[in-house]
Amino acid sequence: MKRDILESVEIPEGIEVELDKNKITIKNKDVTLTKQIINLPIKIKDNKIIFEKKNANKNDKKIIKTFLVHMKNMIQGVQEKFTYKLQIASSHFPITVEKNNNLIIIKNFLGERKDRISKILEDVDVKIEGEFITIESNNKESAGQTAANLETATKIRNRDRRRFQDGIYITDKAGKEI
């Protein structure tokens, strides 16, 4: 069933939004976030980002709602940083976690001799303090992906997860406690 869709996001004061052909850029005085957009009907009018489509189907609605949330996250991201907190859990073997440029190296995971490596995406700050890791970024997607990379790097396979609970686990997702 086709319906008309009209969704909008309010642009707060002090934030500039620029719309190019296939890019949208949201700027604050010191932070700039850019996102590639696909063929979407976007307009900027009266301090609002407006998504409007006539005769939209289910897929159009899904795409518009997804980009609506992306725009809200970008607006929030230029105002404040997103913070993810992770905890290192080790009961069998002591794990050593080190930051090296844009990589995180996990040594002695379950007694393995080979190091496990996780990537840090651009514009992401990682702080390792004892058994806690803090990830901060203005881009929610980059911060979340870096946290997911760490959690995935220490995934245990072919063992009973009830006994082998070693690893790095996300405890806070951008302000939401897990």
Q: What is the pLDDT of residues 53-85, one digit of tens each?
A: 888 888 888 988 999 999 999 999 999 999 999
Determine the CATH number of domain 3-79: 3.90.930.12
User: Is residue 88 pLDDT above 80, yes or no?
Assistant: yes
Ordered by start, the domain boundaries in the chain are 3-79, 82-177
Which residues make Cβ contacts (< 8 Å) with residue 27, sequence separation at least 6?
15, 16, 17, 18, 33, 78
Q: Cβ distance 123 to 172 under 8 Å? A: no
Task: Report the 10 Å Cβ neighbour count for 29.
Answer: 9
Q: What is the 3-state secondary structure (H, E, C) of 11-67?
A: CCCCCEEEECCCEEEEECCCCEEEEECCCCCEEECCCEEEEEEEEECHHHHHHHHHH
Topology of 82-177 in CATH? Outer Surface Protein A; domain 3 (3.90.930)
Same topology for domains 3-79 and 82-177, yes or no?
A: yes
Quick: pLDDT tens for 139-158.
999 999 999 999 999 988 88
- CA dihedral (66, 6, 37, 20) in degrees, to 10, reads -150
